[in-house]
Structure 1
Amino acid sequence: MVQVRFLPNDITVTCEPGDLLYDVATQAGVFIPTGCLMGSCHACEVELSDGGELVCSCITPVPSTSVTVQLLSDPTW
């Protein structure tokens, strides 16, 4: 089990490595906008704060170590 922390909400949840970030967020009550749910539209893009990497949460699995996810705000979505 690993911890995923969502900012700016400051919500931390425990989940299995390999779970999709989007699914973990949804189960935790954290809203991430979506479009295609296949990673093509980038509506669900979030920033992994430990490395600043931008990823699509709908196709990105939780790593095997704890991670902080910075939610982004895109007025287009």
Structure 2
Amino acid sequence: MSIRVRFLPDDITVDAQVGEPLLDVADRAGVFIPTGCLMGSCFACTVELEDGDSLRACIASVPAGREELTIHLFSDPTW
């Protein structure tokens, strides 16, 4: 099943498959998400969903049960 993933603030949209790693989706879309440990413990890859929930992109995948997923990217100058 294909889900449309929208990255803000640049409004870049790409189709992704349920279960596909978010970092792979972002890379394919040409969107940079900073990473540190790649295990979710450093929080460098934290992104926010449209409902206000946040997740760590390095350990997250495209969830089932949605037609579209909007991801708000943060800019952290320490990374």
The TM-score bracket by the shorter chain reads over 0.9
In the alignment, structure 1 residue 18 sits paired with structure 2 residue 19: yes
Aligned match of 1:62? 62
SS of 2:59's equivalent in the other structure is coil
Shift of 1:67: 0.6
* Root mean square deviation of aligned Cα: 0.8
In the alignment, structure 1 residue 71 sits paired with structure 2 residue 68: no
SS of 2:27's equivalent in the other structure is helix
| Greater helix proportion | 2
Aligned match of 1:29? 30
Q: Within 2, Cα distance between the matches of 1:59 and 1:25?
A: 13
Contact 1:44 1:58 in 2 (8 A): yes
In structure 1, the gaps of 5 or more residues are none
Shift of 1:3: 0.5
Q: Within 2, Cα distance between the matches of 1:22 and 1:8?
A: 17
Percent of aligned pairs sharing the same letter: 59
Query: Partner letter of residue 8 of structure 1?
Result: P
Contact 1:35 1:41 in 2 (8 A): yes
TM-score, scaled relative to structure 2:
0.91
Q: Within 2, Cα distance between the matches of 1:19 and 1:9?
A: 21
In structure 2, the gaps of 5 or more residues are none
Shift of 1:32: 0.6
Shift of 1:69: 0.2
